[in-house]
Structure 1
Amino acid sequence: MNETVEHGFAEMVEWRRHLHRHPELSYKEQETADFVAGKLEAFGVEVRRDLGGHGLIGTVRGALPGRTVALRADMDALPIEEEGGADYASTRSGVMHACGHDGHTAALLGVARYFAQRRAALRGEVRLLFQASEEVCPGGARPLIEHGALDGVDAVYGVHLWTPLPVGTVASTGGPMMASTDEFFIDITGRGGHGGMPHETVDSIVAASALVMQLQTVVSRSVDPLRPAVLSIGTINGGFAQNVVAEKTRITGTVRTFDEATRALIRRRIEDMSRQVAETYGASAEVDYLVGYPALVNHESEAERFFRVAPAALPGFAVEKAVPLMPAEDFAYYVRERPGCFMLVGAGNTEKGFVYPHHHPKFDFDESAMKASAALLIAMAESALADES
């Protein structure tokens, strides 16, 4: 483990707990950005602010010429009421850091200080991306890219503290690692009327129910079984009284895939099937399909770097090949533009009670994982900066 990271761990914990007490939702991270910018400026890091909402970029330029590496952390919290009971629990009703972004931000601040203190010997440039609004599409990655976050960048890296993995484990993989995410909203319109005279109506609930069942066949019968995909119905809402045939019913759901061909196929099947099933029942269907984050696909060469670098950076840690995950991440946009790798850092600890899943009201993580996150990002950056241009 990097000795400088070890020595700075206590402050990293302080930063993380401050952010945990004062969470801010996506697109509202003003105080968080102010806190981060203040720390960066105190380290002597050049800061650009208000990029893509409340995103910011810190830049450490080495005294010697060389390559440029970008490192990214996300800053936003979730609309969840915290139930954990820690003394650093959220002070804001209905808002909490339930995914570890406070830890990501604190770890990257530690990395920023590390490189700022070594500017005289640094070859090249380290660019620190503190990104807003990862949790809510369209997200903060693309706006940050549009503001030049990746201009001149040779490689980009990010980490996610991950409680399904135990502390002492890190993981990544080349190729697809996290799924794309799309949402759909299907409005079925029939003809309402009296529940006792159904022959004079077109029942939107019946049509919607039939459609829900038919949509279950999209993955099982239209998608290549060797290509992972998920189509999940989240809600079905229609009607307002027990003796009235509902005129309108809404179905909502999500689609997760790892490749664009499967993603497009499922969209077409949802749109075609919705129209056809509705017409069968004398109703009509309108589909609003929202394309979200693309699949996160790590570059093979950068994943290989992870497997070379991690064992030395984190002695005694288990370095594993990650199983691709269906949750989505807008880090996907960065690795679409530049070579890069996204990595999972184990943060679960059953002995300490850190067992709850991400986005749970009792979510928390073993803070020692922040040391591993910082050490891994530093090691990846130094390895990439040492490569010949």
Structure 2
Amino acid sequence: MSESSIRLPEYIRHAARELYPGIVSVRRDIHRHPELSFQEFRTTGLIRSYLEGLGLEIGPQYLETGCVALLRGTARVSSSEKRAAVALRADIDALPVQEENSSEFCSTSAGCMHACGHDMHTAILLGTASLLAGMRERIPGDILFIFQPAEEKAPGGARPMLEAGLFSDYCPSAVFALHCFPHIATGNVALREGSLMAAADELYLTVRGQGGHASAPHHAADPILASAHIVTALQHLVSRVASPYEQAVVSVSSIHGGHATNVIPGSVEMSGTMRTMNESLRSTFHERFERAVRDVASAFGTTAEVNIVHGYPVLSNDARMTALARQAAVEILGERHVEEGDPLMTAEDFSYYLQECPGTFIQLGTGPAGDNSGEPLHSSRFEPDERALETGMNVMSAVAMKALRG
């Protein structure tokens, strides 16, 4: 039986199984040598060398780090059909975390670790490129592989790559990515239509008053007292501004002011985060947040400076592409291995791609079966199950083919 006569899901599963040992080695190499955002020079060199070895067309260097490559399928496309392109993305940067695992391939870089699974994502996409390069004659279009730097550090690598012309150069009709999730069992994936991950904004406040002796607070304008009331007042944004059916978070996570027990300080600095699941609520929260902070500060005879740093937007999965990806995942993994995803208040700069092109973000299981999740993302002991590498290659390859074939 010739390769061309083997059913596509069977071919993909067989190829992923054959590639798996080598992709494990690639993942471990990347894990040993993690690099922080916009510093991924070694990782970029490894990716480029691997893709050149597959005969892919290396694209422009949009940023100092990262790499894009194009695989041109050779399957015949009818003259009435426009040649399609599908984009697949992996993030490649690590986190400033000191690894506390004991495996033989632990990070060799002090204070730096792949604690979010980007080494897995990169290895999976390299394996997917290898798998699909081996079946060019079945591919009725082009596949763009995006290895993006700096997902972990706002403003991230996605937006500057897009601004530099990534999608205007390649014009993909769909874009897909996946991410490790330890609360989902290895071998499974989860998908969700619509809002999946939150917009994340950074909050910075400075409350200024009049310092004085702590024994005579009536001669001062106490910024610590004002700050305490501001923290309490901000909770009404979630409980009284957002609908009970909306997901939102406002957290003040640091407060700094004063240095002595008998001195009321002149100022207090605070910072925190705001997470919302739709852009309309996000805009409302920004306006109400600034008003609440300044009004409460004024009521205590103090003033407040407010700085809201816009982070990544809401990650919203396209309905049609999510349904397409779900169908592809069921065909390649089986229905019992495809779950409904739950919304998350974490953020991802893949959201920028989805603002430009329809697509979906796939949750890849990397945890143990049952109710016991593995170590959480960003933990110094995060250790994903490497068997998920094969699952990831299967799903990304099947989704790309399904998107090109319609």
Q: Aligning the two structures, in what range does the TM-score lie when normalised by the shorter sequence?
A: over 0.9
Kindly provide the CA deviation profile for residues 289-313 of structure 1, in whole angstroms up to 9, marking residues without a partner as x.
0111111111100111122111111
What is the correspondence of 1:1-389 to structure 2 with a 5 Å cutoff?
A: 2-48=13-59, 50-63=61-74, 64-65=76-77, 66-151=83-168, 152-315=171-334, 317-349=336-368, 355-387=374-406
**Superposition deviation, residue 209 in structure 1:** 0.7
Closer, same or farther: CA 317–132 of 1 in aligned 2, 3 Å? farther
So what's the TM-score if we normalise by structure 2? 0.92
- Quote the RMSD (CA, aligned, Å): 1.6
Task: Please give the secondary structure, in 2, of the residue aligned with 1:129.
Answer: strand
SS of residue matched to 1:307: helix
State how far apart, in whole Å, the 1-side matches of 2:123 and 2:60 are.
Answer: 18
Contact 2:183 2:373 in 1 (8 A): no
200-209 vs 316-325, which moves further: 316-325
User: Which secondary structure does the structure 2 equivalent of 1:164 belong to?
Assistant: strand
Deviations 1:219-268 (A, max 9, x none): 10111112211111111111112221111111111111111111011111
Q: Deviations over 1:288-342 (max 9, x none)?
A: 1011111111110011112211111113752111111111111111111111011
In 2, the alpha carbon distance for the partners of 1:4 and 1:354 equals 29
Structure 2 CA distance for aligned equivalents of residues 25 and 159 of structure 1: 20
What residue ranges of structure 2 are gaps of 5+ in the alignment? 1-11, 78-82
**Is 1:229–1:257's contact at 8 Å kept on the other side of the alignment?**
yes
SS state of the match for residue 51, structure 1?
A: coil
CA distance in 2, matches of 1:94, 1:311: 40
Q: Secondary structure at the match of 1:196?
A: coil
CA-to-partner distance for each residue in 1:157-215, whole Å, 9 max, x for gaps? 10111111111221011111111111110100111122233222111111101100111
How far 1:37 sits from its partner (Å)?
0.7
* Conserved 8 A contact 1:70-1:150: no
Structure-2 change in CA distance of 1:205 and 1:32 (3 Å): same
Give how far 1:99 is off.
Answer: 0.5
For 1:286 and 1:306, the matched residues in 2 are separated by 46
SS at match of 2:70: strand
Which one has a larger percent strand, Structure 1 or Structure 2?
1
- Farther off after superposition, 76-85 or 42-51: 42-51
Provide the C-alpha distance between the structure 1 equivalents of 2:124 and 2:49, rounded to a whole number of angstroms.
15
3-state secondary structure, aligned to 1:341 = strand
* Contact map agreement 1:168 1:316 (CA 8 A) in 2: no
SS at match of 2:261: coil
Counterpart residue type for residue 103 of structure 1: M
How many pairs align?
Answer: 386
SS in 1 for 2:244: coil
Instruction: Determine the C-alpha separation between the residues in 2 that align with 1:172 and 1:182.
Output: 25
**Is the 1:68–1:154 contact (alpha carbons within 8 Å) kept by the matching residues of 2?**
yes
8 Å CA contact 1:69, 1:125 repeated in 2: yes
CA contact (8 A) 1:129 1:149 kept: no
CA shift at 1:48, angstroms?
2.8
Shift of 1:146: 2.2
Q: Determine helix, strand or coil for the equivalent of 1:150.
A: helix
Aligned AA for 2:71?
V
Query: For structure 1, which runs of at least 5 residues remain unmatched after alignment?
Result: none
C-alpha contact 1:132 1:140 (8 A) present in aligned 2: yes
Report the equivalent of 2:4. none
Distance 1:279 1:263, change over 3 A: same
Pick closer, same or farther for the CA change 1:217–1:211 going to 2, 3 Å. same
| C-alpha distance after superposition, 1:42-100 (max 9, x if no partner) | 11111135423412111111234531000000001111111111111111111100010
Residue 354 of structure 1 contacts residue 366 of structure 1 at CA under 8 Å; is this kept in 2?
no
